[in-house]
């Protein structure tokens, strides 16, 4: 389930990355949507940590088939999604500032 959520989140971030011709009101809506998405990304940090902790415990308990590589991959992807969301936030805010100066 976490992996499905992560796939969907990466797709949503990808869509926000390439916003071009857009009206000010539309951009403001995208910024609100992005803020909610970014908040959700942050909230999933505890799940990522839990997955890693469980895998570490299994490994320490001698379990032979610990999906540590998968857990590490999910952690890296989550972190990259969080970084991308911060970068996109900056781009959206710059675009908003630019559009507001055009309206003056």
In a domain, 72, yes or no: yes
Summarised one tens digit per residue, pLDDT across range 8-29 is 999 999 988 877 788 899 999 9
Using one digit for the tens of pLDDT, what is the confidence trace for 79-94? 999 999 999 999 999 9
Based on DSSP, count helices (H) and strands (E) in the chain, helices before strands.
Answer: 4, 0
> What is the model's pLDDT at position 66?
66
As for how many domains the chain has, the answer is 1
Domain of 66 in residue numbering reads as 28-103
Residue 86 lies in a domain: yes
Q: Is residue 16 part of a domain?
A: no
| pLDDT score of 65 more than 80 | no
The pLDDT value recorded for residue 74 is 86
Assess if residue 12 is contained within a domain: no
Check whether 54 has a pLDDT greater than 90.
no
More confident of the two residues 62 and 85: 85
Spatial separation of the C-alpha atoms in residues 103 and 95, rounded to whole Å: 13
- Which residues, other chains included, contact 33 with Cβ-Cβ below 8 Å and sequence gap of 6+? 16
């Amino acid at each position: 389930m976490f992996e499905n959520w992560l796939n969907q989140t990466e797709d949503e971030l990808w869509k926000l990355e390439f916003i071009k011709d857009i009206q000010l009101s539309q951009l403001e809506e995208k910024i609100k949507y992005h803020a909610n998405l970014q908040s959700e990304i942050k909230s999933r940090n505890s799940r990522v940590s839990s997955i890693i902790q469980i895998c570490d415990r299994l490994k320490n308990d001698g379990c032979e088939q610990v999906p540590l590589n998968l857990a590490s991959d999910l952690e890296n992807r989550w972190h990259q999604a969080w970084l991308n969301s911060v970068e996109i936030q900056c781009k959206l805010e710059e675009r908003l500032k630019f559009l507001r100066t055009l309206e003056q």
